[in-house]
Structure 1
Amino acid sequence: MATLPFSSTHGLLEQVRQCLQRRLALPVRAWAASQPEAQVWQIGAAVRLLATPAGPGPVPPSPPAADYPPLLVYDHVPQALGAQLRARGTSYADAAGNAWLQHLELLAGAPASEPALAVSSPAWHVQLLRLLFQLVLTPALAASAIPRLAASTQLPVAVVRQLLRSLAAQGFWHPEAPLGVSPLLLPAPARYWLAHYASTLRRRLNGQRYRSRCPTPVADWAQRGLPAECLWSGEAAAHLLLGCPAPPTSLTLYSQLPRPQLVQQLDLVPSPKGAIEILNAFAPATCFAPTDPRCVPPLLVYADLLTSEHPPHQVLAQALHARYLSNLLA
């Protein structure tokens, strides 16, 4: 292993330490080690590693036995070198943000002896489904640092850490995947989300039925402009996504607008048997990367169709699955 000048070594260790701290959203504290040029890094509450600078060239030999597991620190780890290090079970980190750490507990900042957190309450299950929906739609998001993942999903950082541990415990998440590579193990999470959406998350979205105050035909609604933050789902969205010429007979709408404001804008009145169903959006608008800018993603359209006992809706669900979801739900 090439020897770096002390000043370069210290600068590299500090640069990588700060980068790792940002990526994990956990404190990474450093102090001198007995080995020359190395440092002891404590990540979170309990994980301690011997951070040792590694120069360019072939994979260095295994370091001698030390008080702490080794962490090789590089300026940059090319893909081939990273594969060799992972195959050998050697943790590493670099100044470009690439890292591979074999410590599941870093997801929650808890000691390794603590059992993985399971989702034990309906509220936690709702949060899990909210997070999982966005990860399934955008798997690359799973490779993000935890603060960015929390910001994207509008969930607290501590909640995201605990939910990731739950996903790992259920086999949906590969906790030892390199940072920068999606650790989400599809397609099982997508099927899990679909199986639990209607019974857990949808029930908490204040779903209510309405009718138009004026005798406007339902067929005309799917073509009208909607207020910002409003998207079609269910039968109306399926018709738009599949290019069905027949008008829908029912409408499902997701909105982030306050319900009184939306009802007033659309001139609706409550009606238990009304053809218009409105639900609160459960994810940020930026999450709904549109296949069609008027509709929620096909996965959510499909889930809403499955909640209906109307036979034509089941036919639409099958067609939607064939066109958009066969790979995701394989």
Structure 2
Amino acid sequence: MNAEVEQEILTLACQAFETSTQLNAHPVPLPEKHLALTAGSHYQADGCLRIGPQGHLFLAEAKQRIQSGTIGHLRSINDQAGEPVVLVVPYVSSQQGEKLRQHDIQYLDTAGNAYLYTADKSFFVLVSGQRQPLADPPTQHRAFQPAGVQLLYHLLSTPALLQASYRVMAEQAQVALGSVSILLRSLQQLGLLREEAGRRRWTDPAQVLRRWVDAYGEVVRPRLAAQRYRWLDPGVARQGWQDLPLGPDMLWGGEPAAHLLLDGYLLPEYFTLYTTASRAAIMQQLRLVPDAHGPVEVLRPMDTIFHPERPQPQAVHPLLAYADLIITTDPRNREVAQRLHEHYLPYLA
């Protein structure tokens, strides 16, 4: 999201909180303490909220909606920030709120629902059951809509492409030529991209990466046609899946990709496979059985992920594997994602 959308969500949530609790709440600039904290951790908060009669300060992470990977993402940035970060979204249902509280994630929404507390527990607020606002939530910036996510995937996974012509970018990312200039201009408007002396550069590569992962998890991944399976032979999950013959239109993502990219460091528990193959071909080739709760998730990928510039022929690019891991709720995956980042994506720090 761009800064304007983030601030709109934070402002609306504070207004709703004041209405539902009669307590003061408003966004404030990040104090020096938090500026130093976020700079040292490579995490940049979307804002800071001053809440309650004592003026308690809370770091805030604004999202358009809660996705399957939101909990894992919040736990990851809580670790990076070194203190709780409040999730601020347009709406948190009672069921979502219960799940967030189980993972000890504080939240605030634009309906007035809230779960907030200070470390010493001198301040505690829980509001649940407020109805969803009728107004549509703020929209994601164009740079982080599907075409922008696809172009950014190539710009981030192939750094040299950032200096290429618009036509080369469009051909590699398979987006419309006219879209490239619009998307790059959007990134410049967001302050993420700068052009100096005929060369383009990211102003904050870590921030670009974080926003791309968020957009992939919130905007693109939910739209990928997903199917679930279990292994016909359960033992394959422990030993043998690496030797299965993948077709030219099949690549491991997530945990199995990390296993292959990091020389077996992670033993996969859940398997992500990106493929355009038919359901019958998937079942026959990998000996899988349909199961709505199975450990193998098969996704039809966004275009162009099969491009040849990959360090591991059976796995997606480390950038996509990194995103898959970050948006899960498994703490061990965050550590593995960091290893992928250090080994394959150090230029995005």
Taking structure 1 as the reference length, what is the TM-score of the superposition?
A: 0.56
Q: Which residue of 1 aligns with 2:230?
A: 211
Among all aligned residue pairs of Structure 1 and Structure 2, give the percentage whose two residues are the same amino acid.
36
Contact kept in structure 2, 1:235 and 1:248, CA below 8 Å? yes
Q: Which residue of 1 aligns with 2:174?
A: 154
SS in structure 2 of the partner of residue 290 of structure 1? coil
Q: CA RMSD in A?
A: 2.9
Counterparts in 2 of 1:286-325, with a 5 A limit? 287=307, 289-325=309-345
Q: Secondary structure at the match of 1:248?
A: coil
Letter in 1 for 2:245: G
Distance, in Å, in 2 between the alignment partners of 1:182 and 1:175 is 4
Q: Report if aligned partners of 2:258, 2:266 keep a CA contact under 8 Å in 1.
A: no
**Given the alignment of the two structures, is residue 235 of structure 1 paired with residue 283 of structure 2, yes or no?**
no
Alignment-derived partner of residue 141 in structure 1? 161
* Distance in structure 2 (CA, Å) of the matches to 1:186 and 1:158: 25
Q: How does 1:80-95 map to 2 (within 5 A)?
A: none
**Unmatched segments (≥5 aa) in structure 1:** 1-118
Equivalent-residue separation in structure 1 for 2:303 and 2:157 (angstroms) = 12
Contact 1:235/1:250 (8 A) holds in 2: yes
Q: Secondary structure at the match of 1:277?
A: strand
Displacement of 1:176 in angstroms is 5.0
Whether contact under 8 Å (1:128, 1:163) holds in the other structure is: yes
> Computing the radius of gyration over CA atoms, which structure comes out larger, 1 or 2?
1
Amino acid across the alignment from 1:148: V
Task: State whether residues 245 and 285 of structure 2, in contact with CA within 8 Å, keep that contact through their aligned partners in structure 1.
Answer: no
Task: Name the structure 1 match of 2:104.
Answer: none
Question: How big is the shift at 1:213?
Answer: 4.2
- Would you say how many aligned residue pairs link Structure 1 and Structure 2? 210
Aligned residue number for residue 173 of structure 1: 193
Change (3 A) 1:246 1:238: closer
How far residue 189 of structure 1 moved from its aligned partner, in angstroms, is 2.0
Cross-structure match for 1:194: 213
- Correspondence 1:206-285 to 2 at 5 A: 206-213=225-232, 217-219=236-238, 220-244=240-264, 247-259=267-279, 261-285=281-305
Q: Matched residues in 2 for 1:139 and 1:245: separation?
A: 26
Q: Which has the higher contact order (CA 8 A, sep 6+)?
A: 2
Between the aligned partners of 1:139 and 1:224, the Cα distance in structure 2 is: 32
Structure 2: segments with no counterpart, 5+ residues: 1-138
Residue-by-residue CA offset, 1:70-115 (whole Å, 9 max, x unaligned): xxxxxxxxxxxxxxxxxxxxxxxxxxxxxxxxxxxxxxxxxxxxxx
Taking a change above 3 Å as real, the CA distance of residues 154 and 309 of structure 1, as seen in their structure-2 partners, is same
Rounded Cα–Cα distance in structure 2 between residues aligned with 1:297 and 1:213 = 28
